[in-house]
């Protein structure tokens, strides 16, 4: 299993001068960490801008720096080389690009001002746009892979379901923190153990990129609801799973406050789509 990736994720020196921030390095490292954890090989794409303009170049848009027949010939040659890699190795899991790049942007690209159009536009950069058949992720989206799984865990059925869901997420390259695997599975805890579990779970939420919450039943589990609210207050995306067809109101499936602070999904397939699971096919992320 392998991914194609913008080469600057592995070597930021390939980027234009002055554009790399410390937060970019964090994302690049997180992407590499995810690939290492799940034994996904990172195969770098060639860098059209470096090959055409050289290293140490100043930032610029496609129209300012790259809009020439000579650069188009560079792209033609590099596309052929990448297609050869794909023919030899089989299709990649996805492409990981870097948004705003004139060549390797995924959902945004600095194309340049033209008429009333702003310089930054929606869509892929001019190199990644040559591979519309391969799903592409921006580096920031692919770097979000640490999940806290909030769910009721008081019965064997609930714990079995949680373990199944955690396994499904792991198959889709997500690292999952499951409270029931950390000792939160008994009613015989003393006060010190209660405090230890609370602090451990709180830290796990703080260290997670995403929260997946199971909100089945006539009413959502109170602990799960608390975890969802805490995560929302921290600015973390909350994706809730509810396969229960019952509704609590005409406009509500479970609870107004929970629904307004989370993305509600009605099946595991919809959950994976909302999480932008790399193994799925679909639109760019």
Q: Residue 239's domain is classified under what CATH number?
A: 3.40.50.450
The pTM of the full predicted model, rounded to 2 decimals, is 0.86
The domain boundary residue, chosen from 118, 142, 166: 142
- Residue span of the structural domain in which 70 resides: 2-142
Q: For residue 284, is pLDDT > 60?
A: no
Is residue 69 situated within a structural domain?
yes
Q: What is the pLDDT of residue 136?
A: 96
Residue 183 lies in a domain: yes
State pLDDT tens for residues 11-62: 999 999 999 999 999 999 999 999 999 999 999 999 999 999 998 899 999 9
Structural domains counted in the chain: 2
pLDDT of 246 above 90: no
For range 198-206, the mean pLDDT: 94
Domain-terminating residue out of 95, 126, 142: 142
Residue among 94, 78, 76, 103 at smallest CA distance from 34: 94
Same domain, 57 and 85: yes
Percent of the chain with pLDDT over 90: 74
Please, is 109 exposed, middle or buried when counting C-beta atoms within 10 Å of its C-beta (0-12, 13-18, 19+)?
buried
* Predicted confidence (pLDDT) per residue in 126-140, tens digit: 999 999 999 999 999
Asked if residue 204 belongs to a domain, the reply is yes
Q: What is residue 282's predicted lDDT score, i.e. its pLDDT?
A: 45
* pLDDT over 70 percentage in the chain: 93
More confident call, 280 vs 181: 181
The answer as to whether 282 is a domain residue is: no
Q: How far, in Å, are 68, 96, 156, 277 from residue 249 at the CA level?
A: 59, 42, 30, 31
Is the four-CA dihedral 164, 165, 167, 171 of positive or negative sign?
Answer: positive
Check whether residue 37 and residue 162 sit in a common domain: no
In a domain? residue 280: no
Which candidate, 139, 70, 59, places its Cα nearest to that of 104?
A: 139
Q: Please give the Cα distance from 31 to 10 (Å, whole number).
A: 9
Does some domain include residue 24?
yes
Is the same domain home to 183 and 101? Answer: no
Average pLDDT, the chain: 91
What number is the average pLDDT over the span 113-135?
A: 93
- Is 280 exposed, middle or buried (CB count within 10 Å of its CB: 0-12, 13-18, 19+)? middle
User: What per-residue confidence (pLDDT) applies to 250?
Assistant: 61
- On the 0-12 / 13-18 / 19+ scale of CB atoms within 10 A, 151 is buried
pLDDT band at 65 (very low <50, low <70, confident <90, very high): very high
- Is position 284 within any domain? no
In a domain, 285, yes or no: no
SS3 category, 206: helix
Using CA atoms, how far residue 4 sits from 35, 91, 117, 139, 175, in Å, is 11, 10, 30, 12, 21
Q: Verify that 133 and 155 share a domain, yes or no.
A: no
Q: How confident is the model at residue 234 (pLDDT cuts 50, 70, 90)?
A: very high
Terminal C-alpha separation, the chain: 20
Q: How far is CA 246 from CA 173, 252, 253, 266, in A?
A: 31, 10, 7, 11
The contacts of residue 263 (CB under 8 Å, 6+ apart) are 237, 238, 239, 240, 274
* Residues 186 and 248 both lie in one domain: yes
Reported as half-sphere exposure (CB side, CA atoms, 13 A), residue 257 has a value of 12
Mean pLDDT over residues 77-104, rounded?
97
Name the CA dihedral angle for 108, 110, 113, 115, rounded to a multiple of 10 degrees: -30
Q: Does residue 255 share a domain with residue 209?
A: yes
**One domain, residues 171 and 214:** yes
Say whether both 186 and 261 belong to one domain. Answer: yes
Give alpha helix (H) positions in 221-263.
222-233, 256-260
Look at residues 142, 170, 192 and tell me which one is the last residue of a structural domain: 142
Q: Where is pLDDT greater, at 67 or 257?
A: 67
Residue 92 burial (C-beta neighbours within 10 Å; 0-12, 13-18, 19+): buried
Q: How far apart are CA 86 and CA 94, in angstroms?
A: 11
Domain shared by 7 and 132, yes or no = yes
Q: Are residues 152 and 229 in the same domain?
A: yes
pLDDT at 281: 46
The answer to whether residues 206 and 227 belong to one domain is yes
Rounded to whole angstroms, how far apart are CA atoms 147 and 181? 14
143-192 tens-digit pLDDT: 999 999 999 987 888 999 999 999 999 999 999 999 988 766 566 667 88
Same domain, 121 and 153: no
């Amino acid at each position: 299993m392998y991914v194609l990736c913008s080469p600057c994720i592995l070597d930021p020196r390939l980027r234009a001068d002055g554009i790399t921030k410390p937060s970019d390095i964090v994302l690049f490292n997180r992407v590499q960490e995810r690939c290492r954890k799940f034994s996904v090989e990172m195969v770098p794409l060639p860098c059209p801008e470096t090959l055409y303009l050289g290293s140490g170049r100043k930032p610029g848009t496609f129209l300012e720096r790259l809009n020439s027949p000579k650069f188009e010939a560079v792209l033609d040659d590099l596309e052929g080389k990448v297609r050869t890699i794909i023919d030899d190795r089989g299709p990649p899991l996805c492409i990981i690009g870097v948004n705003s790049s004139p060549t390797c942007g995924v959902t945004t690209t600095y194309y340049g001002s033209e008429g009333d159009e702003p310089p930054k536009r929606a869509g892929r950069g001019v190199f990644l746009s040559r591979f519309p058949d391969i799903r592409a992720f921006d580096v920031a989206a692919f770097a979000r892979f640490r999940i806290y799984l909030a769910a009721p865990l008081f019965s064997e059925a609930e714990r079995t379901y949680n373990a199944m869901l955690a396994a499904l997420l792991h198959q889709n390259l997500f690292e999952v923190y499951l409270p029931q695997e950390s000792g939160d599975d008994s009613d015989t805890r003393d006060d010190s153990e209660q405090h230890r579990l609370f602090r451990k779970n709180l830290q796990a939420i703080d260290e997670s990129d995403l929260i997946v919450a199971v909100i089945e039943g006539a009413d959502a589990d109170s602990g799960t609801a608390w975890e969802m609210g805490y995560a929302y207050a921290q600015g973390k995306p909350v994706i809730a799973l509810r396969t229960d067809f019952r509704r609590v109101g005409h406009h509500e499936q479970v609870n107004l406050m929970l629904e307004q602070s989370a993305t509600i999904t009605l099946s595991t397939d919809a959950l994976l789509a909302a999480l932008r699971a790399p193994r799925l096919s679909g639109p760019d992320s």
